[in-house]
Structure formats: structure tokens, C-alpha cells
Structure 1
Amino acid sequence: GIAVGMATSIPPHNVGELIDACHLLLERPDATTEELAGIVPGPDFPTGGVAVEGHASILDAYETGRGGVRLRARWETEDLGRGVWRIVVTEMPYQVQKSKLIADLADLIEHKKAPLLGDVRDESAEDIRLVIEPKSRTVEPEVLMESLFKLSDLEVRFPINMNVLDATGTPRVMGLKACLQAFLDHRREVLVRRAGWRIDRVEKRLHLLEGLRIVFLNLDEVIRIVREEEQPKAVLIARFGLSELQADFILDTRLRQLARIEEMTIENEYKALSDELAALQSLSSSPAKQWKQVGKDLEAVRKALVSPRRTTIAEAVDSSAFVSVEAFIPREAITVILSERGWIRAAKGKVEDPSELKFKEGDSLAFLVPGYTTDKILVAASDGRIFTVGADKLASGRGHGEPLRLMIDLDEKADIVNLLAHQPGGKLLVASKAGYGFIAPEDELLAQKRGGKQVLNGEMLAAIRVNGDHVAAIGDNIKALIFPLAELPEMGRGKGVKLQNYKQGGLADVAVFDGAHGPEWVDGGGRRRNWPDWKDWLGKRAGAGRQGPRGLRKFR
């Protein structure tokens, strides 16, 4: 890391560019982050690749100290003639294992999750050469790669969080300029402390050399004192005015070595150290000289570490300019099957007789949803979240499927409330166990991440499609209330408004129906019953309602 302390998340950068940016700060301390970013356009990863975050986004990260950068594999199109082509990846994203990437791409092909991808193989020798073949030559190379960037680690995102320790040891988030300035301040402090350490050593050596100069001028007398006197140290100090340090140094030196001492050797070392001491003292007292020396030291680092930039900085890619991958998914009728234990699969066509479906021992049918391979399946959970799963990504209906929890980050304690195929422009009534609810536009419920989208604040009881103009609610107290749908607000997320008022318990079930036909409900035997006199239960939203028809417990 370029800054003092340990970085929380700082991608690697080009040393030469950082040194050039430091030189700019040394020359002009008032330089802006934008000027520095002109020298350091973005991270530089050792494995190369293409950073597609864009200049504005990277500049914002350098200003605030927080952000991220998308890194893509470098690729090129290889023309094989007669309209046949293939993709060759020559540089991998940083920290992505080639073997794992190939395995992931092969898995996409096997499970038909990448409809544009035909084959992938590794032809690497000393250089990276990953060959990707399209399923159809009619597909544009850019469209194929855009789909794979979304589905695999051919594109990864590196966070930028420049949370570093400052000079006082306090962690704080720094922008690029503050980070570089902290580094320069640190280099200056190291320079000053190193100079102070050297001054101390030089002064001690000069002190000893002064004693040797005296010895050389009186060599015979010093030898006599050392040989004949009982306390030579005291005599030397008294006779020549030496310090204890000088006297000890002389006494620790062999007489034979003293005899070989040459005046020129002593004088040359003394002069060289005196000049060095003067230079060090001048450096220690002059901030201007210190900063100049910091710049020279950085140049030494440049010669030892600088290498050409490997990562190309490109502008952010507008994926809307490409045809959606979903456009290449064949539209085929399917039936989505979800079991009580959470196993999901998609059977081809329409399931005419659900009783013929087979499940693992002890398992049974929970939801049966007709749809198409191009649909997005909405999964409503009791923790208030709604997840999105592509119907084309579901396992074949021939087996038992796969656990839904492997596809979404569903909490172990949460239950599935409803499963339905997304209808663009449609609306859902979401209601909590506490008796609150609202109308949610389906288009705002689609989630891009495995964690889904938090929609309802509270324990979700129902998420049903709005097909009608009235709402029927029944509480745990068996009291029913019917009110116009228009009394419910439309919102993207929240707690909602009270549907029905209860002294004890909560909402047992809710339904939306068309007033022209009236609602239906299910009795204890599972038989559907009409409710011809439903208007007798018509009232205002949030009312307590009154005792429902005999046997009424739920609507579905």
C-alpha cells in the first residue's frame, strides 16, 4: 500500500504512476485529485485486464476513498473464415483461477444457463489462451461476451476502501491526495529520523578520530604509558585531555595496530565524516532540502520497481446497447414445481394431473406454477423478502430438482409464502401476519441479487396477484371483512396500512376478487364454495368485521 498503515481494500496500482503523482504533490501541494487522477487513471493489476468502471466513477472513488472498479478479461475475436469465429481470452481478471473459471463456464453449458455459449477449452502454454466458442455464428461476439461477463468471473468487481492508519495510528478513510500526502509525510519522517540516527553515529566516530589524531602525534609517549603505567587510562586522560570514551577506545586498540596508524588515513576519514555531518545537519534543519531528498529517494524506487502499465482503463460499458441474453432463450411452456421441503424443478409443458408427480419420500407438492422458460419466478418468503429466479435456470422436471435455497439466500427459519411467474406491469397484494398490507408493483419487486429484495416490514402472510377490485380478509378470530381495493396504497416497500382490526390474534388469510363475480373460499374438506351474500360483510378498511360464514377458514 502507498499510504501509512494497513489498507482495508486498495487494489494494486502502478508504482511509476504513483511516484509521478507524488512528484506533482511535491512541486504543487495544492494539486487537485482530478489532476492526480490524470497521472493515476486507475488501478493497475499484475494480470492485466480491462477496467470498465469509467473515469468519472474512479475519480469519485479517489475523491471519497470509497468505490469500486469492474475488471474484465482481455479478449479478442479470432476469424476462422466463412463467417466462423471464436473468442480468445489472453488476460484473466486479477485473483481469478483459470481452472475454476473453466469449470464454471462448463457448468453453465451443462445446466443450459448460458444459451449463447457453445464450448470452452484451455489452450494456454506460457501465455494465457482461453478459447470460447459460440453456440451459433449468428451471435455477435460482443453480445456473447457481455452475457458471460454477467454470468461468470470473466468480470469481477474490486472494492476500493482506502481506510488506512494516519500518522497518529488512527484509522480513517482517505482520498487519493490525502493518501499520497500521508505517504510523503511518512517518507519525510523516515528521512529525518534516519538522518538523526546517522548524525549520532558520525559524531561518535569523529570524537574517537579526534582521540586517534592525538595518539598519532604522541605515539611513542602513548605506547610508553600503556606499557609502563599501572593506571594507563587515568594517565592518558590527564596527560592528553582525552575523554573516557577516547581513552577506552585507545586502550582497546592493539599497540601493533596503533603503530600502523597513518596520519593521512585518519585525516581523510575525519574530513569525510565532517563533511557528511555538515550535510546531515543542514538536511535536518531545512524542510526544503528534506522534500528534495524525498523526491530523489522516490526516483531510486522508480528504477528498482517501475514496470509498464498492464491494465487498460476504459469507459463504462452501456450493456443496454446489446441485445438481452434473455432474447436468446427459447420460449417454451413449463410448469414450475416446488415441494414442501423446498425442492424446485421445471417440467415441460402443462402438468395435467398433479397427483402423478413424484417426490422424495416424506415430501409433497407445495406450489404448481404454469409459465415459460423466459419468465422470472417470484418467490415470496415469510421474512418479508421477495426473490427472483430465472425459469431457464431451473433443473429439469425429470428428477426431483434441486434445493431452492441453493439458488437464493433464504434464511433457514423463513418459509415460502407464494410462488408465481412475474407479469410485467402486474401488481401484488402483500400482507403481514399482523394484519397490515399494501399494493406493490411487480416490476419494482424484481431482484438482481441472491439476497432478494426486502418488501414487507413484518412477517409476510400473503403475496397474491391483484385480479379484482375488492379485498376480503379473515382473522384468526374467524371474523371476516371486505372492503374496496382502492383503499389500499400502492408502494414499493414498507409496513403498509391496517387491513383488519383484531383484539387478539392476527390475519389468517386474504384474497382479492372481482365484485361482479364475488369471492370464493375453501371449506375444511378442501371444497371451493361461493359467497353470494358477501356484500353483508362489506365495510371500511381496518374495521373489525363480523363472524364469517360457517366453515370459512381460508380463501386458497
Structure 2
Amino acid sequence: MSETPATDADGVEQIALRDYAEKAYLDYSMYVILDRALPHIGDGLKPVQRRIVYAMSELGLKAGAKFKKSARTVGDVIGKFHPHGDSAAYEAMVLMAQSFSYRYPLVDGQGNWGSADDPKSFAAMRYTESRLAAYAEALLGELGQGTVDWVPNFDGTLDEPALLPAQVPNVLLNGTTGIAVGMATDIPPHNLREVIAAAVHLLDSPRATVDALCEHMLAPDYPTEAEIITPLADIRAIYATGRGSLRMRALWERENGDIVVTALPYQTSGARVLEQIAQQMQARKLPMVADLRDESDHESPTRLVIVPRSNRVDGDALMSHLFASTDLERSYRVNLNMIGTDGRPAVKPLDVILREWLAFRTETVRRRLQHRLERVLSRLHLLEGYLVAYLNIDEVIHIIRTEDKPKPALVQRFGITEVQAEAILELKLRNLAKLEEMKIRTEQNELEAEREKLDKLLGSEARLKTLIRKELLAVAEQYGDDRRSPVVQREEARAFSEVELMSADPITVVVSEKGWIRAAKGHDIDPAGLSYKSGDGFKLEARGRSNQPAVLLDSTGRAYTIATHNLPSARGQGEPLTGRISPPSGAVFNGLLMGDTDRRYLLASDGGYGFVTTLGDLQAKNRAGKAALTLPRGAHVLPPAVIESDATWVAAASNEGRLLVFPLQELPVLARGKGNKIMSIPGARVEKREEYLVGVVALRDDDALVIHAGKRHLTLKGTELAHYRGERGRRGNKLPRGFQRTDRIALATRG
């Protein structure tokens, strides 16, 4: 038993503040959850929405009625059923009237009810007029047929329906959002035909799985033609768990070179999208866009025109960037949280939602049939009394005229019930004249047939299920329409990187011996003639574009990537590389590369090993770079050699005056590693620095190779090079006398 609260001398209850606050908070929480924020699975409505629809039906504002001022409806709602602010009730009413917010609007509005750009721009309720939409009949049609329970209103003077007898799973059709205490709901709208098809399938196959239901109900269906781009497997996972997220993407097309957006994601403002694009244009992040226009009108509710600077602009890439950086693509949370038939809130998977709703619908139809059966039986009972009155009409009239209390006299004389006697007494004289036996018996026969049919329906689960199935299909035929939001597989949107948005100006990147880097505009500069710090000088250069990164290769075989668009000008002396990357202590730089990511290079160590790679494989994302070339013991990194697209041979020379030329295809293409043996050099001689490679180059068939030994140089080409051809990994042939101590090799400059 609960403890009785203590009272003071004046009889006032004494309750601990903690207990009082806890109870008050819990009471408030349950009120917000059950009576404010969450929809019921039965009719899919929150209490305020249910009361608005019911109040409008009581005012006679059905779909065919004349419009009435919205203030009249709001007054009835807050005065009779929903004692809250008029603005809150009106906003709930507006939402149900907006075709861009509700998939199947419940209210038909006349006047300014807001726009997709600004849903809150609706006129005051004293200006707008409204009535129920035709679809509302699917919720109200069976209301007066004993289908639902009735409860007192807030002051106990009126009754209101606890639920509406929905003929469709409205909780899925229009969806809803709401924030309660400790929980929220985000139910997306769906297509009526698809939901009915899934419900019918579940009715026919009670053990159907979520996957089977998703064959009929593909995905949510928003009141917009924008695409749902979430993969179907992810959508099915949402339906299986009741939680997840969806992505929608705007529709666009090319029209005379312009990009025209024709449909926006759900609840997305076109003005907001144009503002986001304009902000990027002002920040010079969209140099490929020349102009924006909003050409939306009544005929084309959404028509946003994006004008590219030229026909060479890649429309797909531009829109991919805009999808990633603006509201042209949006994500929507899904949280199928609702109040179930047990009166408790819960997040439910799709199969549970439809099973519970079908149970609700079955009980509603059963109550409707039972109510009708009672009406039929009551009418048959009265008809029996009328038949008695017709067959004995003169005696009935005599009893009524002569008896002080005719009811008991009629009951005693004809053996009828008090109800039948009361019905006879309430008949008007003119109706007595019209009582014809044939009409009474005809109505009796019709009602007897209906009673028999109702008894069969109520006595057979199979017949009842068939009736529900037939009625569901009829509602789908009456109110259903085609899907509006197509489900499409699309690649993930990608925003332009900072480099991609920059102009591709020619630049020359220069690295000094002490590791200082800078960039000069153009390709016609002399790097050796630039100004250097005392004791420093030119070491490496690379020519490329300002939107291309530079790749540095150090003496440990690590590769580093540096953005070139923000390098200091060559007019100064640059900045140290250590401010941008973190090479190992003592490392020096042996290679500087720029170009397209698919440009090929030959990486090799002077220990005689190497491989082919691409500039893209050498690029790293962090300051510490990435391990590219693995060095044999005692070996050093050779400067990378460019491989032209038509190169077919590799030439390698050692300091001992040996030269080997072999096919380029014999070297592997790797992203990193040691590579394969280029020229056979004993490891011990490499460690002692007695013999090692001095250079490798990639040759074309008509290239000439220049061998340098001190101040001497030797040019070999054609048949002269053929003498040094062999298999990869051989020792190679000796060069002529005077070149026994080779310094380096290089391609001859083409004239």
C-alpha cells in the first residue's frame, strides 16, 4: 500500500519536493508523449490533428461543402476540444492543407496557405477559408457506425472520438514529425497504392517478412519529384529496424547549355538554394558559374536556372559539387516511433506497423458490422410490430382512442414488446394509411438477407478478411496515385577540392640544396639564375600547373606531396620544406615531380633495383609522406626517370662503365616496394660503394643516349645501342675505353 502523505496542523499535505517534482515531470512527460507529440498507429494523427478533422466534419465542412473561414474552425477546435493557443491549432491546420508538406492533404484551403519556399508565409486565419479534402473521408467515413470509442472532452460537456476509424494506414501515408520528452518521431510519407499493396500482401500472407513487404512498398514517397538516392538495401534495413536516414537529390536537366533544376528535395527552399550558390560565387568558389535565375511560376513551381560560363563546363561535375555543398541534396532522419494499439509508444519495424494496423482495421470493421447488425435486428423488431398494426389497424385505432394507457393495452392484446408498442404509438395517422403489408414484408426480406450476410461475415474470419481486402483495394482505387519520388541509384556527390577550383596556370617549382621551396609563374625561367641564400644553390625543378601538387622523393625512399598554389613567389628565396612536411632527420631530396596523376616514372635505387609507378601512386596525404622505394643495404635513391607514353626501353649504367638496355615491359608496375633487379650488382660491392648504378632512363626507339664520364661524353643511338641490349638483371656490356668511370647518363635533347 502507498504511504499516506503527512499533513501539518492546518491539514495541508506535506510532500517531499523531490517526490513532487518527479511525479510532476513524469505526468508532464506522459502527457506530451501520448497527447501531443506522437501519432497513433490507428489513424496516424496526433490529438490536435484528429480534433481539427473532427471539428470540421461537425461543422459540415465536407469536401463538397462551401468554404468557411478558418477562424471558425480554429474557434471550435480550441473552444470544444483542444484548450490551447489558436496559433498552434491553426499552424497544425495549415500543415494539413499544404500539398508540398502532406502527401495526401486532409484540408482543402482557399487563400494564402504558404509556399514551398516559405511554408510559414501563410495568411492569418481570419483571411483564409477551408474545408475538408476528399481524402479525409477515408478517416471519417465510418465515424457514426459504432466503430470507435468516444471520450469526454476537456470539460466533460461534449464527447469526442478517441480515434478516427481510418480505412487506410494513414500513419505511413502522410507521416509526421514530433519531439516529445526523451523521444521523437520522424515518419516519412508513403504512396497509398504501395502501402495498400503491402497491407493486402500481409493480409494474404500473415508471416510475410519485411523483404517481402518491400517488394510492394519500395521506399517513402515524398510530395516532390526529387529523387530518393538511398540504396534499396539501406531502405530495407530502415524498415527492418524502424530507424535510419534517407537522402534526396534534386532533379536537373540541360536546356540550351543552361542547367535547370526542376524539383527540389522535400521541404527545401529554392530561395535558400540560390542563396547558398550565390555565397559560393561571391567567395570565388564557383568560377565556372556565370549567373543564377529563379524562373519559378505557377506553371513551373520549381525552375532554378544555373548558367555556366561556357559549354566546356562539366555539368555533371558541377552538379555533384552543388549536391555535396548545398541543399540540392538533403538527408532525412527516419524514426518510426508511434503509439501502438496497446497505448504505448515504441519504434516499430514495417511488418509490425502493418500487422498492428490490420488488427486495428479488423476490429474497426467488426464493430461496424456488429453495429449494423444491431440496427438491422432493431428494425426487424419494429417491422414485426408494424405488421401487427397493419393487420389489426382498426382495433389498434380503437385501443388508442379508448384506453387511457394504450401502450400496456397494446402489449397485452397483441403480445408485442413495449418497444414495438411505442413505435406504433409514435406513428402519424398519415403513415398508418400508408402501411402496406407488401412494403413491410419486402423490407423484412431485404433486412433478413442482410442479417444473414452480416452473421456470416462476423462468424467467419476468412469472409471478414476478404471484405477488408476488398475495401482496401477500393480505397486505393479511389484515392491512390502514382509514385512522385523516384528511387534512383546515384554516385555519391563530391564537392570540388580547393585545388580543382583554381585556375591551371603554368608554374615552375624550384627546390634548393638546403631544402627551400618556391614557385615561379611560367615555364621560361632559369632556376639556376635565381637568388639563393649564402651557401645555398639550385638543386631540383619541376614544371606543371598551379592546380597540380608537387611530389618530392627523399634519400630514404619516402614520397611527400605539397600543394603548389600557395607556394611563396620565386622573387623571394622561398620557405623551408620542413614547414610543410616532416622528413626523417638527415634526409635530402633527390626528386621533384609534377604532372597528371597517370604520368609514369621509373623509380630505382643505385643498388640495382627498381619499378614503374605513377605520380598518383606517389602522392601522400600526411606530412610524414609515404614509403615509396625500399632501398637495399647501402644503396641510395636515384633521381626518378620520366617514362614517355611511347617509351619501350630502359637503359641503366653503372659507375664501372657497364651499360644494359632491356625492354621496359620487363619491369613491374608497383605503387611501392623494392622492385625487380635492373642490373646485376653484387650486394657487397654496393654496401662498400665499389659498384653501383649511376642512372636509369626510359628510351624510345629513336632516342639517343648520352654517357658522361668526367668532361667526356658519348652519344649512342640506333644500332649502337643494340650492342648493349639484353635481359633485365644482367651485368650489361662494357662501354668503350675512356668511359670506364661513368658519372651519369641522360637522354639527348631532340633538335
Give the shorter-chain TM-score range: 0.5 to 0.7
Distance change >3 Å, CA 237–CA 166, structure 1 → 2: same
Aligned partner of 1:9 in structure 2 is 186
Q: Structure 1 length normalisation: TM-score?
A: 0.56
> Does structure 2 retain, via aligned residues, the 8 Å contact 1:166–1:172?
yes
Q: Deviation at 1:330? A: 2.6
2:403 corresponds in structure 1 to 229
Q: How much does 1:104 deviate?
A: 3.1
* Deviation for aligned residue 1:115: 4.6
Q: Say if 1:184 and 1:327 are closer, same or farther in 2 by CA, change over 3 A.
A: farther
Deviation at 1:69, TM superposition (A): 1.0
Preserved CA contact (<8 Å) 2:290 2:309 = yes
Structure 1 residues 149 and 103: CA distance shift in structure 2, 3 A: same
Q: Equivalents in 2 of 1:306, 1:237: separation in Å? A: 55
Cα shift at 1:110: 2.5
Retained in 2: the 8 A contact 1:61–1:160?
yes
Q: After superposition, give the CA deviation of every residue in 1:120-149 in whole Å (9 maximum; x if it has no partner).
A: 212233123221122454331111111111
Match of residue 219, structure 2, among 34, 42, 48: 42
Equivalent pair of 2:242/2:336 in contact (CA under 8 Å)? yes
Unaligned residue ranges in structure 1 (runs of 5+): 333-371, 376-391, 393-421, 427-464, 468-556
1:25 aligns with 2:197: no
**2:428 maps to what in 1?**
254
Is the CA contact 2:285–2:501 (under 8 Å) kept in the aligned structure 1?
A: no
**Change in CA separation of 1:424 and 1:226 when aligned onto 2, cut-off 3 Å:** farther
Return closer, same or farther for 1:311/1:292 CA change in 2, 3 Å cut-off. Answer: same
Q: Are the counterparts in 1 of residues 325 and 495 from structure 2 also a CA contact under 8 Å?
A: no
Give the letter for the 2:462 counterpart: A
2:230 is aligned with 1:53: yes
Verify the 8 A CA contact 2:499 2:547 in the aligned structure 1: no
In structure 2, the residue matched to 1:72 is: 249
Does the aligned pair in 2 maintain the 1:114–1:147 contact within 8 Å? Answer: no
8 A contact 2:500–2:547 mirrored in 1: no
Q: Indicate which of 290, 295, 306 corresponds to 1:118.
A: 290
How many angstroms does 1:185 deviate by? 1.4
How many Å apart are 1:308 and its aligned residue? 1.0
Check the 8 A contact 1:14/1:43 in 2, yes or no: yes
Aligned residue for 1:353? none
Cα deviation digits, residues 420-478 of structure 1 (max 9, x gap): xx97999xxxxxxxxxxxxxxxxxxxxxxxxxxxxxxxxxxxxxx999xxxxxxxxxxx
Partner of 1:214: 388
Contact 2:222–2:266 (Cα < 8 Å) also in 1: yes
8 Å CA contact retained: 2:321, 2:495: no
Structure-2 change in CA distance of 1:466 and 1:76 (3 Å) = closer
- Decide whether the 8 Å contact of 2:188 with 2:220 is kept in 1: yes
For 1:243 and 1:373, the matched residues in 2 are separated by 99
> Do structure 1's residue 133 and structure 2's residue 307 form an aligned pair?
yes
What SS does the aligned partner of 1:120 have?
Answer: strand
Length, aligned pairs only: 338
Is the contact between residue 249 and residue 329 of structure 2 (CA under 8 Å) also seen in structure 1? yes
* Alignment match, 1:185: 359
Contact 1:74 1:91 in 2 (8 A): yes
Q: Percent identity?
A: 38
Query: Is the CA contact 2:407–2:421 (under 8 Å) kept in the aligned structure 1?
Result: yes
SS of the aligned residue for 1:307 comes to: coil
User: Helix, strand or coil for the counterpart of 1:160?
Assistant: strand
Give the TM-score normalised by structure 2: 0.42
SS in 1 for 2:375: helix
Q: Tell me the distance in 2 between the aligned counterparts of 1:108 and 1:12.
A: 33
> Residue 581 of structure 2 contacts residue 623 of structure 2 at CA under 8 Å; is this kept in 1?
no
Output the CA distance in 2 between the equivalents of 1:174 and 1:270.
48
User: For residue 554 of structure 1, what is the aligned residue in structure 2?
Assistant: none
Kindly provide the CA deviation profile for residues 396-433 of structure 1, in whole angstroms up to 9, marking residues without a partner as x. Answer: xxxxxxxxxxxxxxxxxxxxxxxxxx97999xxxxxxx
1:101 Cα deviation from its structure 2 partner? 2.6
SS in 2 for 1:44: coil
Change (3 A) 1:424 1:200: farther
In the TM superposition, residue 238 of structure 1 has moved relative to its aligned partner by: 0.4
**Which one of the candidate residues 425, 434, 451 is aligned to 1:277?**
451
The counterpart of 1:88, out of the listed 260, 271, 280, is: 260
- Cα separation, 1, equivalents of 2:421 and 2:357: 45
Query: 2: distance between equivalents of 1:323 and 1:155?
Result: 12
Question: Structure 1: how far apart are the matches of 2:196 and 2:548?
Answer: 52
Q: What does residue range 449-464 of structure 1 map to in structure 2 within 5 Å?
A: none
- Are 2:379 and 1:205 equivalent residues in the alignment? yes
Q: Conserved in 2, the CA contact under 8 Å of 1:219 and 1:259? A: no
- Asked if 2 retains the 8 angstrom alpha-carbon contact of 1:202 and 1:277, the reply is yes
Say which SS state the counterpart of residue 306 (structure 2) adopts: strand
Aligned-residue offset at 1:100: 3.0
- Change in CA separation of 1:466 and 1:317 when aligned onto 2, cut-off 3 Å: closer
In the TM superposition, residue 324 of structure 1 has moved relative to its aligned partner by 3.5
Per the alignment, in what secondary structure is the counterpart of residue 118 of structure 1? strand
Q: CA deviation at 1:58?
A: 0.6
Q: Alpha-carbon deviations, 1:233-279, whole Å to 9, x = none? A: 11101000111111111111112311211111111111111111221
Deviation string, structure 1 residues 368-403 (Cα, Å, up to 9, x no partner): xxxx9999xxxxxxxxxxxxxxxx9xxxxxxxxxxx
Inter-CA distance 328–257: structure 2 relative to 1 (3 Å threshold): same
Q: Distance in 2 between matches of 1:424 and 1:149?
A: 33
The within-5 A match list for 1:354-503 is none
SS at match of 2:207: coil
Q: CA deviation at 1:331?
A: 8.2
Measured in 1, the distance between the counterparts of 2:495 and 2:330 equals: 21
Contact 1:2 1:180 in 2 (8 A): no
Any idea what SS the aligned residue of 2:215 has? helix
Residue 252 of structure 1 aligns to which amino acid in structure 2? E
Deviations 1:155-194 (A, max 9, x none): 1112111112211111111111111222211111110111
Q: Quote the Cα distance in structure 1 between the aligned partners of 2:294 and 2:411.
A: 81
Per-residue CA distance 1:39-65 (angstroms, 9 max, x = gap): 211111121111111111111101111
Q: Distance in 1 between matches of 2:279 and 2:286?
A: 9
CA distances 1:313-349 after superposition (whole Å, capped 9, x unpaired): 1125234xx67443323389xxxxxxxxxxxxxxxxx
For residue 281 of structure 2, what is the amino acid of its counterpart? Answer: I
Task: Note closer, same or farther for the CA distance 1:374–1:331 as it changes in structure 2 (3 Å cut).
Answer: farther
Distance in 2, matches of 1:192 and 1:19, equals 19
Tell me, which stretches of 5 or more residues in structure 2 are unaligned? 1-38, 46-175, 177-184, 505-545, 550-564, 566-578, 584-621, 625-751
CA distance in 1, matches of 2:421, 2:203: 48
Change (3 A) 1:423 1:19: farther
Between the aligned partners of 1:425 and 1:217, the Cα distance in structure 2 is: 114
Q: Does 1:329 align with 2:493?
A: no
